[in-house]
């Protein structure tokens, strides 16, 4: 893990850099300039240089960045050399979609356990992932040392389940419900409200058309530090 405390916006761009660097490595490219990287990942080159500067001087003037060195570096920061097991709670429509979605090929994250209150789906295997009844939540999370959970349950039960996750020592929650959940300071929450994201996109298109700046890019939850 990184020693330096890096800004949240920078941290969110690291997987994007990492993914592209893997593509370069596969294509046998030895080095990359910040301009090249900028065009590929749609982040301006000044931001890329600033992002990289948080980790010390990694680039050489006139040479750019060494792909393998950079990749090894990011791999360590992103914890890609160890596999992170994630739990999914609520195997409904969205939950099923996420179980089917194999995350990215180059990311060492996988959903290894799912949970649902519905007896028809508990104790079955869905898309290669075992689904446990909710009564086994704490036991399984602790036994399997799972510290990250994805919430795709109805809003009515999301806080109650969050409390159970906190009780089972979960450190990070990806909340797909539109409800903001309460957690202790030691737990990090990432909110992904797909409806809200889509509405924001429509709002921008309707009000600003093509004059978006930032390469037309936006990241969800940029403002909720
Ligand atoms: P989605 O919201 O993903 O489209 P859906 O419309 O199919 O899903 P929801 O009612 O939102 O269904 O429930 C999502 C899933 O959460 C269902 O599989 C449901 O059985 C499960 N669920 C509901 N209550 C709980 C609970 N208390 N604990 C765990 N899982 C629950």
User: Among 88, 89, 90, which residue has the most ligand 1 atoms within 8 Å of its CB, making it the best to mutate?
Assistant: 90
Final residue of a domain: which of 25, 43, 77? 77
Q: What is the pLDDT of residues 157-174, one digit of tens each?
A: 999 999 999 999 999 999
Final residue of a domain: which of 38, 54, 77? 77
131 lines ligand 1 (CB under 6 A): no
Range of the domain at 36: 8-77
116 lines ligand 1 (CB under 6 A): yes
- Residue from 198, 158, 186 nearest 174 by CA: 158
**Confidence (pLDDT) at 225:** 39
Mean pLDDT score of the chain: 86
Q: What is the pLDDT of residues 172-224, one digit of tens each?
A: 999 999 999 999 999 999 999 999 899 989 988 888 876 655 566 665 554 44
**Confidence (pLDDT) at 53:** 82
Spatial contact of 55 and 13, defined as CB atoms under 8 Å apart: no
Distance 166 CA to ligand 1 centre (A): 19
Rounded mean pLDDT, 44-64: 80
CATH number, position 172: 3.40.50.720
Residue 206 lies in a domain: no
Distance 88 CA to ligand 1 centre (A): 11
* Rounded Cα–Cα distance for residues 105 and 161 (Å): 30
Distances (CA, A) of 170 to 85, 130, 225: 12, 19, 20
Token pair 């592209």 in the structure block, residue? 20
Spatial contact of 112 and 85, defined as CB atoms under 8 Å apart: yes
**Confidence (pLDDT) at 215:** 60
Residue 155 lies in a domain: yes
Q: What are φ and ψ of residue 179, in 5° steps?
A: -85, 135
Number of domains present in the structure of the chain: 2
Distance 200 CA to ligand 1 centre (A): 25
Final residue of a domain: which of 54, 77, 100? 77
Residue 21 lies in a domain: yes
Distance 208 CA to ligand 1 centre (A): 36
pTM score of the predicted model: 0.74
Question: Using 50, 70 and 90 to split pLDDT, how confident is the model at 124?
Answer: very high
Please check whether residues 135 and 55 belong to one and the same domain. no
pLDDT beyond 80 at 57: no
């Amino acid at each position: 893990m990184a020693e330096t405390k890096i800004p949240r916006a920078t941290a969110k761009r690291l997987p994007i850099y990492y993914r592209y660097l893997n593509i370069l490595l596969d294509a046998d490219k030895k080095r990359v300039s910040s301009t090249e990287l900028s065009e590929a990942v749609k982040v301006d080159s000044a931001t890329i240089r600033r992002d990289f500067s948080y980790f010390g001087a990694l680039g050489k003037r006139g040479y750019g960045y060494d792909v393998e060195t950079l990749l090894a570096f990011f791999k360590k920061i992103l914890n890609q050399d160890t596999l992170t097991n994630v739990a999914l709670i609520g195997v409904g429509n969205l939950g099923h979609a996420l179980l089917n979605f194999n995350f990215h090929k180059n990311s060492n994250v996988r959903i290894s356990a799912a949970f649902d209150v519905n007896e028809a789906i508990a104790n079955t295997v869905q898309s290669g992932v075992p689904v446990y009844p909710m009564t086994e939540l704490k036991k399984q999370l602790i036994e399997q040392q799972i510290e990250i959970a994805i919430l795709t349950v109805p809003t009515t039960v999301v806080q109650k389940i969050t409390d159970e996750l906190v009780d089972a020592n979960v450190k990070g929650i990806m909340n797909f419900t539109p409800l903001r959940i309460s957690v202790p300071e030691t737990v990090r929450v990432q909110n992904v409200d797909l409806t809200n994201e889509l509405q924001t996109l429509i709002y921008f298109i309707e009000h600003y058309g093509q004059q978006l700046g930032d390469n037309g890019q936006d990241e969800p939850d940029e403002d909720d530090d």
